Amino acid sequence: MKSEIAQLEIKRRTIIIGNLAGFVVWQLPYLFHYFTSDPSSNLSGWSSAVSIIGCFIWGYFLIRIVQFSRLLRKKRKLASSLNDEYIQVIRLKSFAIGFWVLLGVIVLLVTLSLVVDLKVRFVLFTLIFAGVIAPLVSYLIFEKD
């Protein structure tokens, strides 16, 4: 039973890393696009292809999350030992860090908007990017300890 829990922990970490990588690859071209060309135009060329590939990677790992949760629903004992108090504390800390990072990005963007005219699309993409990336990265860092 111990080895199965270790396998599920590795699978969970792999899913989170894949989800993180897919989301970054999907959204990063949008943020770069804002600085390199007209922000009102759509993505084109390599950035569009990279973004589509990232979207598919992210979608694949979302499906893996659903499969993983179904597996844990079938195996209640494994689910309870896999989501113990330590993991719950890590989740709580990572969401708290995500909140503070998001608040910091909001303050930074508001301050920056006093100097530079920021487009709404850039602000929204930046907030979504920070709001998704910060908790995932902090979770992976806390779980590694």
User: What pLDDT is recorded for position 20?
Assistant: 94
* Report field, pTM of the whole predicted structure over 0.85: no
Rounded to an integer, what distance in angstroms lies between the CA atom of residue 68 and that of residue 33? 35
Residue 84 has a pLDDT of: 83
110 vs 90: CA distance, rounded Å: 30
In terms of Cα–Cα distance, which of 31, 4, 13, 3 is closest to 130? 31
Q: Which two tokens mark 23?
A: 């989301």
- Return the pLDDT at 7: 86
Structure confidence at residue 43 (pLDDT):
60
Task: Please tell me the predicted confidence (pLDDT) of residue 39.
Answer: 55
Which pLDDT belongs to residue 100? 97
Instruction: Please answer whether residues 23 and 55 qualify as being in contact, where contact means their C-beta atoms are separated by less than 8 angstroms.
Output: no
Q: Which long-range contacts (CB under 8 A, 24 or more apart) does 39-42 make?
A: 39/119, 39/121, 39/122, 40/119
* pLDDT by position in tens, the chain (length 145): 568 888 888 899 999 999 999 999 998 888 877 766 665 566 667 778 888 899 999 999 999 999 998 988 888 887 787 888 888 999 999 999 999 999 999 999 999 999 988 888 888 989 999 999 999 999 999 988 6
